[in-house]
Amino acid sequence: MEALLRISSRENAAVKLYRRLALSKKARKQLGLFVLEGLRLTADALQNGAHLTQLLWTEEGYARWNAECACTCPPETRCALISDAVGAELSQTEHAQGVYAICRMPEQPLLSELLRKGGTYAILHQLQDPGNAGMLLRTADAFGLDGVIYSACCEIYSPKVVRATMGSLFRVPVYCTAEIAPVLAACRALDIETCTAVVGGDAERVGQCAFSASTAVLIGNEGNGLPEEVVSACDRRVTIPMHGTIESLNAAMAAGIILWEVKRTKNGVQ
């Protein structure tokens, strides 16, 4: 530990960069960097081949890292010990663990590389809640989806979304775009069936319908759902039957139910 650089000033360049990236979407986009906070998230990043440019620990965080984490830092990662006061300045969580990292954004795959026949995908359109955006990536990871497409959604590299993914950001292929039309066109070209999640109406009921081997499930905005022009451009409409007067579920929960059914019918599980 004696060999590590020690930082006690809030004006240190690495500390200022971390703080800037944590607060500014513009800075993240310009520099192609984002921040991680916490032992597990940082360890997941390293274990899945993410490029960490900087690691900062408090002394307590460094002790946890050595005690709990099997990862070793690659030579190109700059490492330093920071004071508790600096750590408190950087932390955005209620229970800080004293582990902070700056990570390079992975190169986004081409849409033609991500989509393939036989694949299962989630297409998220106009989601704005960071918790939902991150939770849906965790769901995709849990169900073994082949990719998640974010169309006109909140920024996935914001600290809140990154924390909500709980490491799934480093395991699931992700494609971000401002326009959904090219995504739907690419799905049609590959015979990937597009299924929109809607509320009621004459939609097929989840649990009573089967899904094809190539399926993309579309989930819309938390308050407004999917625009009618998007629904009309897709192959099928599906809905989750509700009890009583409940009309809809949280976007992440609804997606989880539908994606489970997609994987269940695809894998022939009864």
Q: What is the mean pLDDT of the chain?
A: 90
Amino acid 91 reads S
Task: Write the DSSP string, 69-128.
Answer: ------TTSEEEEE-HHHHHHH--SSS--SEEEEEEPPPPPPHHHH--TT-EEEEEES--
Average pLDDT over residues 147-153: 96
The pLDDT value recorded for residue 264 is: 85
**Per-residue b or e along 149-180, where b marks 16 or more CB atoms closer than 10 Å to that residue's CB:** bbbebbbbbbbebbbbbbbbbbebbbbebeeb
pLDDT score, position 268: 56
pLDDT at 50: 94
| Whole-prediction pTM | 0.90
pLDDT at site 269: 46
C-alpha span between 17 and 247 (Å, rounded)? 45
Any idea of the CA torsion for 17, 82, 160, 164, to the nearest 10 degrees?
130
Torsion from C-alpha of 189, 191, 196, 200, nearest 10 degrees: 140
Q: Give me the pLDDT at residue 3, please.
A: 66
* Per-residue pLDDT at 247: 58
* pLDDT value at 107 more than 80: yes
Lowest-pLDDT range, 18-32, 61-75, 128-142, 209-223? 61-75
